A and B are shown apart, each in its own frame.
Chain A
Amino acid sequence: MNRTKRFSLFMILIMLVLTLTSCGYKDIDKRAFVVTIGVDKAENENKDYKVMLKIAIPPTEAKGAKQEFIVSEQESNSITDAVRMIKSKVDKELDFSHAKAIIYGEDVVNEDIKGVLDWFIRRRDIQKIAWVGIGKPNAEEILKMERKVELLPSNSLFLSFGKTGTESVYIVSEYLFDFRRRLTERGIDPILPVIEAKDQFFQIKNVAVLNTDKLKMTLSAEETKFLNIMLGRVENADIRVKAEANDEKDAYFLSGNAITVKYKVLTNQKDAPIIKVDLHVDGVIEEAMKRISEKHLEKPTKLAEKQLEKKVKQLLEKLQEEQLDPVGFGLKYRATHLNEKDWDEWKEIYAIAEFQVHADISIEGTGLLK
């Protein structure tokens, strides 16, 4: 008797527990996988945003299937509302777990970024390792682009970032979590890669630097490369060396590998604050316009060091002028100076700080056999 009673009690408990699992189970074929999310400025003047979701259509045949997707869009004042409305348009449950890229239209970033970032940070199903970028001329162009090289929708976008596929020095990859960190942290400014739509493909070669709420400047490809080096995100980069400092002609190209960057903020009460940057490059000559002898490498090395120092300094001063600090000198200062007013101090220091860039290049070879 007691036994059956206990057993039935156990069964009742199990059945009660079963009622707790309301909405978890959803078969994978009943989910609509969103691969990229785009946010543009609304065309309707009464609305703020146009939210676009690129939904992948799973291939039913494993072999030789072509990519298929739909881009569902909705204009609204909030992303939440837009997504709710899109949900009512698609037949399956939206699944953001594979939304690995978030593209903001240029217009959105030019105005205010914080408003369109909040939703992505709060939603737990948006992966915080999603790549963030700016779509040029707008996000829609990037989302609707059907690249021939892709087998899966948006795959080429995923491959472009994070050195998964291509390892370009012009691509600055930015994770969602890092973007938010840069946005909220004092002493380091957010950056976003600019994804430029061409006819059949897109190109990522520029980086946009933002302050705490909107886009401030877009760097050129060359500057992007140096910023990438300064951020320590690339180890291999080519350095263009001109014959003379003011000469238009190129002397040679150095293929640098194992590039390391160190920087220090020196604040001596007497002198003006100095930001010291040390670059170290090991490299081989990749392409020479004139014959360079293996025995006489000192002169080309000096030439390269000087030009590299100058270019980096120019970039840093350009950023300083706009009070932008994507490298994070301020954060470094704040981390090493325990002080309640460190931020105010830093703002004063950065305005007048002088950059001392020192490059140390060693050319390991000419790339040729004797």
Chain B
Amino acid sequence: MFFQNKAKTEDWLMEQLGSSSDIICRNIKSANQKATIIYINSLCDEVNLHKEVLKPFYEASPQEFTNYIKSLPNAKTVKQKEDILTAILQGGAAISLNGEMLIVEFEKVVNNNVGEATVETVIQGPQNALTEDITTNLNQIRHRYPQASLRIKSKKIGRQSQTKTMILYDEKLASPDLIEGIEKSLANVDIAVLSAAGQLHKQLTTQKRTLFPTMMITERPDRIAYNLAEGKAVIVIDGTPFVLITPSVFYDFMSSMEDVYQSFWISRFIVLLRYMGLAISLLLPAFYIGVTAYNPEFFRVQLALGIAGSRAGVPYPAFLEVLFMLLMMELLTEASVRLPKSIGSTATTVGGLILGQAAVEAGLVSNVMIIIVAAVAISNFVIPINAMSFAMRVAKYILLILTIFFGMVGLVMGVIGLVAYLANLSSSGQPYLKLFFIRSKDSK
């Protein structure tokens, strides 16, 4: 009966896997025992398989070999045939031995080279980013956070991708409610293929349409360690160098790891600079429209006349001019993201320099407008976390449109509305506009 069952499982597995060239099903026989091994050679580390399974097979007695295999750290007994299939698909080798199915994991990882951080760079700080392999990432995180209380909970997400996802937290610092909440929301995720952190973030938010990120997406192991020490939870996803950190409030998105590494006043200055950049990129276009078209008394007389003079030849009203130039700038930013790195600089030169210059000379836009658009574009990049800088790029249009129709009052109302909206948001139970992340006292 056992034999029948075994044969059935093997057949079922082979049937499921089909006839692909990288699927290996091998019957091996020694003097006193025989076994069947099924694995996928593109996923499986064959050198280790030979060393740890095939060689002992011919050297040990049947009883010894079974015990040996079972005692391997990467071996496990699996009952359900669906689980066996999943294990094979993730680089495991299924060994059927005396009617028992054993899984030994020999996962072969190709993309585990540690590279430099490219999205969130700091000048003098750790330079390396996470990799696309979860084990390497865990290795990096464990290195930076060598605490016994670090807990890792594993889960597979994605109906088809079965992506390994892990929740990391410090048991002593993170509140149990937080972890429970994350586990609950992870269980509700229904998605076919999971391959990026942002994708999971979208699935984890309760609202369908959101603008502002409520979970931090980062590639920096030092930031992960820093946040773990603050009692936050980190969601690591296999196959992407980015992780999610939750709860993350607005202030976190405006901070860079550089703030921690620099001396007190320097870091305060940088943070202040960043908020000023945020204000400029968010408000400047709207403010320009509001002041020039509704309240020119706001300017000094010199500036008012200067702007009026530079706008003298511009055929369209100021709001069309602003929208036109902002659109050009967005296109430029978007194009340089999508373009290969080697052509990227050409796009910025052509777009930024030549187009800007020509637009002024053709009398389509005023000089002042170019300054404003450039200031907006530059200051937008000051926001350290990309997701937030994207959100602000969108938010400025809302303020701009409100100002076009309602003047300075519209701008003020828009800002109030924006603050109200942000205050209404929450990240894993933490108010979004909370300025200081204070560890909850009742957590162990």
Binds B, one of A22-30, A107-115, A134-142, A293-301: A22-30
Check: B276 CB closer than 8 A to any chain A CB: no
**Interface size band for A:** 20 to 34
Chain A residue contacts of B301, Cβ below 8 A: 33, 35, 56, 98, 100, 152, 155, 158
Closest 7 CB pairs of A and B: A97-B297, A58-B309, A58-B308, A28-B292, A29-B311, A98-B301, A58-B305
| Contact bitstring A218-249, B, C-beta under 8 A = 1, else 0 | 00000000000000000000000000000000
Check: B417 CB closer than 8 A to any chain A CB: no
Nearest Cβ on chain A to B294's Cβ, whole angstroms:
6
Among B292, B296, B313, the one with the most A-chain Cβ atoms within 10 Å of its Cβ is B296
Of the residues A24, A31, A60, A65, contact of B296 by C-beta under 8 Å: A31
Nearest Cβ on chain B to A24's Cβ, whole angstroms:
5
With A33-B304, A60-B312, A98-B304: A28-B407 Cβ-Cβ less than 8 Å:
no
Chain A residue contacts of B306, Cβ below 8 A: 58-59, 62
Q: How many angstroms between the C-alpha atoms of A26 and B291 in the bound complex?
A: 10
Check: A268 CB closer than 8 A to any chain B CB: no
- Interface pairs (23), CB distance under 8 Å: A24-B293, A24-B407, A25-B293, A25-B404, A27-B292, A28-B318, A29-B308, A29-B311, A29-B312, A29-B314, A31-B296, A33-B305, A58-B305, A59-B305, A60-B313, A62-B310, A65-B309, A97-B296, A97-B304, A98-B296, A98-B301, A127-B297, A155-B301
Q: Which residue of B lies closest to A59 (CB)?
A: B309
Q: Which residue of A lies closest to B305 (CB)?
A: A58
Chain B residue contacts of A25, Cβ below 8 A: 293-294, 317, 319, 404, 407
Check: A269 CB closer than 8 A to any chain B CB: no
Among A25, A33, A35, A95, the one with the most B-chain Cβ atoms within 10 Å of its Cβ is A25
Check: B426 CB closer than 8 A to any chain A CB: no
Chain B residue contacts of A97, Cβ below 8 A: 295-297, 304
Please tell me if the beta carbons of A26 and B312 are within 8 angstroms of each other in the complex: no
| In the complex, number of A-B residue pairs with CB atoms less than 8 Å apart | 80
| Contact bitstring B388-423, A, C-beta under 8 A = 1, else 0 | 000000000000000011110000000000000000
Q: Which residue of A lies closest to B288 (CB)?
A: A28
Please tell me if the beta carbons of A28 and B405 are within 8 angstroms of each other in the complex: no
Of the residues B296, B297, B367, contact of A62 by C-beta under 8 Å: B367
Q: How many angstroms between the C-alpha atoms of A309 and B309 in the bound complex?
A: 54
Q: How many angstroms between the C-alpha atoms of A25 and B293 in the bound complex?
A: 5
Check: A149 CB closer than 8 A to any chain B CB: no
Among B297, B305, B310, B313, the one with the most A-chain Cβ atoms within 10 Å of its Cβ is B305
Check: A13 CB closer than 8 A to any chain B CB: no
Check: A18 CB closer than 8 A to any chain B CB: yes
Q: How many angstroms between the C-alpha atoms of A25 and B291 in the bound complex?
A: 10
Check: B302 CB closer than 8 A to any chain A CB: yes
Which A residues, 51 to 73, have Cβ-Cβ distances below 8 Å to chain B? Answer: 56, 58-62, 65
Which B residues, 202 to 232, have Cβ-Cβ distances below 8 Å to chain A? Answer: none
Chain A residue contacts of B25, Cβ below 8 A: none
Chain B residue contacts of A2, Cβ below 8 A: none
With A62-B306, A152-B301, A152-B305: A27-B293 Cβ-Cβ less than 8 Å:
yes
With A98-B297, A100-B301, A152-B302: A27-B309 Cβ-Cβ less than 8 Å:
no
Check: B307 CB closer than 8 A to any chain A CB: yes
Check: A21 CB closer than 8 A to any chain B CB: yes
Q: How many angstroms between the C-alpha atoms of A61 and B311 in the bound complex?
A: 11
Q: How many angstroms between the C-alpha atoms of A65 and B308 in the bound complex?
A: 14
Chain B residue contacts of A60, Cβ below 8 A: 309-310, 312-313
Q: Which residue of B lies closest to A56 (CB)?
A: B305
Please tell me if the beta carbons of B405 and A21 are within 8 angstroms of each other in the complex: yes
- Judged by DSSP, the binding face of A is loop
Q: How many angstroms between the C-alpha atoms of A56 and B367 in the bound complex?
A: 20
Q: How many angstroms between the C-alpha atoms of A30 and B442 in the bound complex?
A: 64
Please tell me if the beta carbons of A28 and B311 are within 8 angstroms of each other in the complex: yes
Q: Which residue of B lies closest to A29 (CB)?
A: B311
**Interface size band for B:** 20 to 34
Chain A residue contacts of B317, Cβ below 8 A: 25, 27
Among B293, B304, B308, B314, the one with the most A-chain Cβ atoms within 10 Å of its Cβ is B308
Q: Which residue of A lies closest to B366 (CB)?
A: A29
Q: How many angstroms between the C-alpha atoms of A25 and B405 in the bound complex?
A: 8
Chain A residue contacts of B297, Cβ below 8 A: 97-98, 125, 127
Other A-B pairs beyond A21-B406, A155-B302, 7, CB < 8 Å: A17-B405, A27-B318, A95-B296, A97-B304, A98-B297, A125-B297, A152-B305
Chain B residue contacts of A27, Cβ below 8 A: 292-293, 311, 317-318
Nearest Cβ on chain A to B379's Cβ, whole angstroms:
23
Please tell me if the beta carbons of B307 and A28 are within 8 angstroms of each other in the complex: yes
Q: Which residue of B lies closest to A18 (CB)?
A: B405
Q: How many angstroms between the C-alpha atoms of A59 and B301 in the bound complex?
A: 12
Chain B residue contacts of A29, Cβ below 8 A: 308, 311-312, 314
Which A residues, 299 to 314, have Cβ-Cβ distances below 8 Å to chain B? Answer: none
Q: Which residue of B lies closest to A96 (CB)?
A: B297
Nearest Cβ on chain A to B293's Cβ, whole angstroms:
5
Please tell me if the beta carbons of A58 and B318 are within 8 angstroms of each other in the complex: no
Nearest Cβ on chain A to B420's Cβ, whole angstroms:
18
Nearest Cβ on chain B to A59's Cβ, whole angstroms:
5
Chain B residue contacts of A65, Cβ below 8 A: 309
Please tell me if the beta carbons of A31 and B308 are within 8 angstroms of each other in the complex: yes
Of the residues A17, A18, A33, contact of B308 by C-beta under 8 Å: A33
Q: How many angstroms between the C-alpha atoms of A26 and B294 in the bound complex?
A: 6
Chain A residue contacts of B313, Cβ below 8 A: 60
Q: How many angstroms between the C-alpha atoms of A56 and B407 in the bound complex?
A: 24
Chain A residue contacts of B309, Cβ below 8 A: 58-62, 65
Among A65, A127, A152, the one with the most B-chain Cβ atoms within 10 Å of its Cβ is A152
Q: Which residue of B lies closest to A154 (CB)?
A: B301
Q: How many angstroms between the C-alpha atoms of A61 and B360 in the bound complex?
A: 13
Q: How many angstroms between the C-alpha atoms of A58 and B317 in the bound complex?
A: 17
Which B residues, 310 to 326, have Cβ-Cβ distances below 8 Å to chain A? Answer: 310-314, 317-319
Nearest Cβ on chain A to B343's Cβ, whole angstroms:
35
| Contact bitstring A1-37, B, C-beta under 8 A = 1, else 0 | 0000000000000000110010011111101010100
Chain B residue contacts of A158, Cβ below 8 A: 301
Nearest Cβ on chain B to A15's Cβ, whole angstroms:
11
Q: How many angstroms between the C-alpha atoms of A210 and B127 in the bound complex?
A: 75
Q: Which residue of A lies closest to B289 (CB)?
A: A25
Q: How many angstroms between the C-alpha atoms of A190 and B310 in the bound complex?
A: 41
Nearest Cβ on chain A to B404's Cβ, whole angstroms:
7
Q: Which residue of A lies closest to B302 (CB)?
A: A152
Q: How many angstroms between the C-alpha atoms of A43 and B294 in the bound complex?
A: 37
| Contact bitstring A72-92, B, C-beta under 8 A = 1, else 0 | 000000000000000000000
Please tell me if the beta carbons of A24 and B294 are within 8 angstroms of each other in the complex: yes
Chain B residue contacts of A17, Cβ below 8 A: 405
Chain A residue contacts of B318, Cβ below 8 A: 27-28
Q: How many angstroms between the C-alpha atoms of A333 and B314 in the bound complex?
A: 60
